[in-house]
């Protein structure tokens, strides 16, 4: 039975990846999950906002958007992985760390997947009809945060430093902190105007190249970088930086 359900989930997931955009009605309590290592486990609250029950399947992966429940290998147990959720009801997902060795000097990134499978239509309107059903998947970042990391994750975006790459076509963000920094908006002054820049997430203790848009001229040293970053609570905080010489 479990193999059948996994195959069903995998098939519906493949269909979902190639389908037009739709909105899931199984709501997740938050836009990201922060897992403090000292706690050993966290819970994620789900709410079924539909007027009908749904089948929900959940799993965690290491960054493969095409992952399926039976193919993942992560240091977490997630319960319940598969359940029926009644209309307008809530359910908690429990995520437990299994103590695989992970870096102790920085956060590690994983992804939480929540797949919503609607019931098969019934009644006179469904009889004799060809119907397309979509399984809708939500995908959230899960940050595993080791205990004792130096600094404040809410202040990490302010510590980013900026430079222009050698060909002058991109900003390079350097993150000296042990925390991930997700940039949701960014622009830089160049040639007397504000120029949009690619978005992205800067991994801990790493660099990220963000391409300039619209064939912008090379930003000069001291050019102002304005950006917003998503904090632990899913809110957008504004920051300002400058291009280094």
Q: What residue segments make up the domains of the chain, in order of their start?
A: 2-145, 153-242
Long-range contacts of 3-11 (CB under 8 A, 24+ apart): 5/57, 5/82, 6/68, 6/69, 6/70, 8/117, 9/57, 9/68, 9/69, 9/82, 9/115, 9/117, 9/135, 10/68, 10/69, 10/70
User: Would you tell me how many other CB atoms lie within 10 Å of the CB of residue 237?
Assistant: 15
**What digits encode the pLDDT tens for the residues 181-232?**
999 999 999 988 999 999 999 999 999 999 999 778 999 999 999 999 999 9
* pTM for this entry: 0.85
Of 69, 29, 20, nearest in space to 49 by CA:
29
**CA–CA distance, 228 with 187 (Å, rounded to integer):** 10
Same fold, 2-145 and 153-242: yes
Instruction: Copy the structure tokens of residue 5.
Output: 């359900």
Per-residue pLDDT tens digits for 72-104? 899 999 999 999 999 999 999 999 999 899 999
Instruction: Give the model confidence (pLDDT) of 153-172 as tens digits.
Output: 999 999 999 999 999 999 99
Asked if 84 contacts 21 with a C-beta cutoff of 8 angstroms, the reply is: no
pLDDT averaged over every residue in the chain: 89
- Out of 15-19, 36-40, 72-76, pick the least confident: 15-19
Please provide the CATH number assigned to the domain covering 2-145: 2.60.40.10
Tell me yes or no: is domain 153-242 CATH 3.30.1490.20. Answer: no
pLDDT level of residue 126 (50, 70, 90 thresholds):
low
More reliable by pLDDT, 133 or 75:
75
Whose tokens are 């202040």? That residue is 155
Give which of 47, 44, 16, 19 is closest to 31, Cα–Cα. 44
């Amino acid at each position: 039975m479990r193999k059948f359900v996994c195959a069903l989930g995998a098939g519906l997931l493949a269909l979902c990846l190639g389908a037009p955009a739709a909105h899931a009605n199984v709501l997740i309590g938050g836009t990201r999950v922060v897992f403090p290592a000292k706690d050993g486990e966290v819970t994620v609250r789900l709410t079924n906002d539909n007027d009908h029950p749904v089948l929900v399947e959940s799993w965690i992966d290491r960054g493969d958007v095409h992952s399926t429940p039976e193919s993942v290998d992560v240091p977490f147990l997630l319960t319940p992985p598969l359940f029926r959720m009644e209309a307008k009801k809530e359910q908690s997902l429990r995520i437990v760390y299994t103590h695989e060795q992970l870096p102790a000097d920085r956060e590690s990134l994983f992804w939480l997947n929540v797949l919503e499978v609607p019931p098969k239509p019934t009644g006179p309107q469904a009889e004799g009809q060809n119907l397309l059903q979509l399984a809708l998947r939500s995908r959230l970042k899960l940050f595993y945060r080791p205990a004792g990391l130096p600094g404040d994750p809410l202040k990490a975006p302010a510590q980013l430093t900026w430079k222009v790459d050698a060909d002058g076509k991109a900003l390079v963000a350097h993150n000296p902190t042990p925390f991930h920094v997700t940039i949701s908006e960014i622009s830089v002054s160049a040639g007397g105007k504000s120029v949009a820049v690619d978005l992205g997430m800067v991994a801990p203790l790493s660099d990220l190249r963000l391409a300039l848009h619209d064939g912008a001229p090379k930003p000069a040293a001291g050019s102002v970088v304005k950006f917003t970053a998503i904090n632990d609570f899913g809110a957008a905080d504004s920051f300002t930086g400058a291009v280094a010489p």
